[in-house]
Structures are given as C-alpha cells and as structure tokens.
Structure 1
Amino acid sequence: MSLEVDIIKKLQGFELKVKFKADNYTLGFLGSSGSGKSMTLRCIAGIATPDTGRIVLNNRVLFDSEKKINMPIRERKVGFLFQNYALFPNMTVEENIGFGLIKRISKVDKVNKISKKIMDLQLNGMEKRYPYQLSGGQQQRVALARALVVDPEILLLDEPFSALDEHLRNNMIIRLKEDLKEFKGTSIFVTHNMEEAYQLCNNIIIIAGGKIDAVGHKDVIFNNPPTLYSAKLTGCKNISKARKIEPNIIEAVDWGCKITFNYEIEGDITYIGIRAHYLEICEEDEVINTFNCWVVFTSEALFRIKVYLKFGKPILGEKDYNIMWDISKEEWDLIKQKPLPLKIRINTDKVIKIKKSISN
C-alpha cells in the first residue's frame, strides 16, 4: 500500500504546496489551525480539487492535472472520518454505516458488511438508534464504521477527537490505535495535538502555512525538531536565540547564560531549546551547566507545577523570567523550601539545536 502526493492549491491567504509519500502505516499531519492539513485530506479524497499536481494511490492515478485525470470520489476507495463525524441525523446507525456502499452490491452483501462493522466496532444493540441517541464516542465509532465498510485502500482521519472530552478522548485513542492495527492500508491522521500524533502515528509531517516544515519518524521530530516552528508546535516552551562564542560554547541570548558542550558545535545554530520537564535540580555548584536561579512565580495545574525561573539577575516583575520548569507537585513540595537561588542544570543531551526558523 502506498500514497504519493505532489499538489499545489491556492487558498485564501496562502498557497498549499505539499509533496510526500506514505506507505502502510499511520502518518501524522501535525499543524496549527488553518495550516492546510484538512485541505490536503480533502484533495486526496476528491472533495476538493488541487490547481496542479498529482495524487497516486497504490499505482492508481486519482488526480493528474497534466493528464486531466480527476477520479470521482466514490471510485477512489478512500475512507474519510470527518472532524464532526458528519452523520446523517435522519438515518439510523446501520443506515449511516451503509450509506457509502455502492448500489450494485446485493442486499445480502450490504447487510453482511454493515453487520460485520457493527460487530467490529462494538455497536451491537445500537443499530436502530439515531445519532442524537448516541454519545460522542459512539458517534465516532459509527463514523469510523462508515469509513471502513467500503473497504478503503486509505483511511483519512480529520481531527477525530476534537469534539470529545479528555476522559473519552483517552479511551478513544486506545480504541482507534487497535482499529488501525487491523487496517491493512495507509492511514493519515490530522491533528493539532502533539500527544495524539505521538500515540497514534509512526512518521509525522509538520505543516505550516501550507508547506511541509518537517518530516520524519516521531521520535526524531519530537526529540530533535529541525526548525523553530516545529520545536514550538511539539511543545518546547523554553527557546532562546543562540550565538556560538567558542567551538563548544553557545550563548543563550534570551536566557542570559552560556552553555558548554563536550563537542564542537556547528556554526549555523540560530536557536536552542530545552523542554520544561528536562531541567534538573542540582546540589553542587561545580557541575557544568548549572546556574543560580530565582523563582519569579509559579503556576499550579492539577498534578504539576510550572516554575518560572530567572538566571542570576534581579527580578523586575512577573514577566521577568528566563525559563520555565515543569515538575510534579510532589517534587516541588521537596524543593520549594530550599534557600534561593536554586541550582538548575541544563543537560546538553536534552538541548534542541535549531538551524532554521522554518523550512524552505
């Protein structure tokens, strides 16, 4: 199973220009709202038409602007799970699931296909219910059953968890992960939520302003985001402009400190970052890359504390902080009584080195 996409489409405010390949795995499309993620799916499905380019699925040309090919939606063998599920309110569960089945199959085959998906998605007993009689999770499973019942070669999932509360979202992610293991084709999962992308996807494409900003295995993308945009999008809260001042020393301009590496740094580093949970408390002054820090203020969440720190200078106000530290409440209870300044270490193994603000 394989997908090749190379398309351009002019949109309001920017141009969508994406080129990528996907094989038999779940590919994540991660980006902010309005970046072009959903429009890419719509072009693959045939709901929208690119201005130019080519889309090929398993050696079948779905779209080719030069050859004037634009295969109808029903012939593309695409399963589409919409953001709001798009269930027909006047149809029962079984009618919604069977809606996309072609008319030329027999009534018996249609009933068998619908029954199998009802069994697979654990919708037994709900066949005659209408969408308003279903929970959000049940509606999603009906929509997924409808997408799968047509035996698609590719499954497109457009932010399927955005309408669910936190508890239900976690349960549905687990369920969908199992469902995708059973699906033998290519899947593309669109989201702006990095946790969802990491849990469900193998490879990830980050898209910004209609263009691909970064692409790679999820561990590479999250541990070493190549651009400033991808670092921010994957949740790095601590980012500073960087300036190389010695072969192995970088000045973190916005943090007001210098970080020493045990190897020579490339000269084209423009930013550095470290994720908030990677900062370390240290008891000794002599440990390399350990800095005196003052607590500016804290922000309390349900189970964790965000501690806003200032490196070695007088505090001028609540906005006068350099870096944020994310730790558990239990850890903070042990640390908050310590005399200031706290000794905070930046582990260079965890430092993100960024060369570009955004991909070309």
Structure 2
Amino acid sequence: MSEDKLLPLRQKIDAIDAQLLDLLNQRALLAQEVGHVKAETNAPVFRPERESQVLRKAAERNPGPLLGADIQTIFREVMSACRALEKRVTVAYLGPTGTFTEQAVYRQFGHAVEGLPCASIDEVFRDAEAGTADFGVVPIENSSEGVINRTLDLLLQTTLCISGEIAIPIHHSLMTRQGDMQGVTRICAHSQALAQCNAWLNQNYPAIERHAVASNAEAARMAAADGSIAAIAGEIAVQKYQLQIVSANIQDDPHNRTRFAVIGRLHTGPSGRDQTSIVLSVPNKAGAVYDLLAPLARHGVSMTRFESRPARMGSWEYYFYVDLEGHEQDLKVAAALTELKDKAAFFKLLGSYPLAL
C-alpha cells in the first residue's frame, strides 16, 4: 500500500531531477562562455568576491525547507564544478590529507580543485609564491588558543596577499587503530590541538605522554601504523586512515573555531561584506599607537582585530596586525589607509577580501 503512495512521489522527484540536470548543464555552458571571455583579458578564473555574493544571495532568497547553509553548500559545489571547466585550481594546504586545513580548502573552493598537501605552513607559502599552487590555505587564528604565530610572521615577509578567509568549527576526536586505549603509551596531535584538549586530557588520561607533531593528520597516520599511539584529529581522519573513535568532541571549548586565510597573488574586488588586513609599526615615541589609530575613528572605520608581534630586532619594537571592516576601495577605508601610511613607521596591506560566510 505504501508503494502505491510512494510511486507518484518518486516519479515527481525523477522529473524534477531531470530538470535540475538540464539547468545545471545550461549553467555549465554559460560558465564556459564566461571562461572564454576571461581568457581574452587574462582575467582570473576564481573570483572570491563574486562567489561570496552568489552564496549570500542564495541563502537570502532561500524559502526553505532546506537550510540556508545547506543551500550554500550545494551552490558552492556547483560553482566549483563549473569553475573547473575553465581551469582546475590547485590549492596548497597544511597536510597530509585529513587535516582541518584541507576541510577549509573544500569549504572555500568546493571539491573540484586539485589539493596539494604540504608538510609545513612555510611550504604552503613557498608553493603559492613559486606558482606551484594557484592559492594556499593556512590557519591564522583559533578562538581558544589565539593566533598562529608562524602564519603571521610569514604574512609579514611574503609577496602574496590574502584573498579570502574561512572559519570552521573544530571538533576534536581521540582515535586509535583498535578503538580503545589499551596498550596506548602516547597521544599525538598538533600542539594547538593538544592545547585545545588540555583539560579533557588531564581529566581522562593524565598519565599518558603527549607528543606534538606537525599536524593532526600526521598523528592519525602514525596511529594507523602503530597501536601504541592515539591521535587527536577531526572525524575526516577516521575514514582516511581507517581508525576508530575512542571519544568524540574532546575539545575544551564546545564553540572552538579556527580561522584560515587564503593566500595568493589575486587582489580581490569588493563583495559588499569585506575585511581589510594590514600590518603596522609605529615610531618609538609616547602615544604613537594612539596617534596611529586615530584615523580609523576619524573616518568611521571599525577595527575588528588588533594583534602584536615582536619585530625581533632586539629593541622591544612590535608589528601590529590589524583587521578593519570594509574593503580598501571603500571611500572611508581608503581615506583612513592613506593617513595610516603617512603616520606609520612601517605599513603593509595584507589584502581586502570577503568575510567568511
């Protein structure tokens, strides 16, 4: 009896699927035409400001019952597949496969990209600078452990700019080859992950040695090869390395999130919801920092982040990493930046880019 009711519903779904397939290929043909036009002017294949606008508009127009975030996931993959018809973008990231950084790559670019796993953040920068990869994705800040210092240092030195950001929730799991902690003598993870799970580990496995490795995925790879090692990693590593979860969601902060930066040579245009990142240093005199930031207040530009790093010159000088609301081409931001350049002892524009969705 239920089959009699299901059959007409399934027939309607099949009909809609056929329409969707036709519309998707119509979109793909238009994307190919866009690619031909871009090729005439050597315009970039990936335009994060345009894709950000499309994703925001899709969520705003969505009447339901699908959630806005799910609609954005679908549209992101459609755009990724269409973009790949023009050129398959190569993206370097902190590897090996199974890291949260790889997850961030797919969150930004969709799955129709060529991922290039790297052994270190330095290598991600090198591959993007050398042109081995079109873009790189690197962690820049964690909500509970703060900034990734190595990323900040390399942003200061590189000729690349930031063309996008991704923010994803970080859920850590403890995993082993055998699915329990019997015989485990070491718990391995990236130093940030160990710190983010410190209280949980102190309560549950205080006597087991903790060992920091290059990435959580590397810890998962080690655990897959050695039953005496437990790894802390994301659930994506379970499938990739055939591990079993001992305990899930062991991070101390249930709202733990990491922010990632997309680096490359692309200078991103305004999307309507943007952020600008800069690095500054000030003359060594009283009130210099206050005087430096005064143009922001004068032009009504909001500062969303202010981070200091030692200049490593042995004279107690600092670089200040600042995030501002708006795009460098916005009138008030442009006016404030002009004044900041004049006042700062050092000024570097890291990039203007769409805010993470």
TM-score normalized by structure 1? 0.24
- Give the helix-richer structure, 1 or 2: 2
Q: Which protein has the larger Cα radius of gyration, Structure 1 or Structure 2?
A: 1
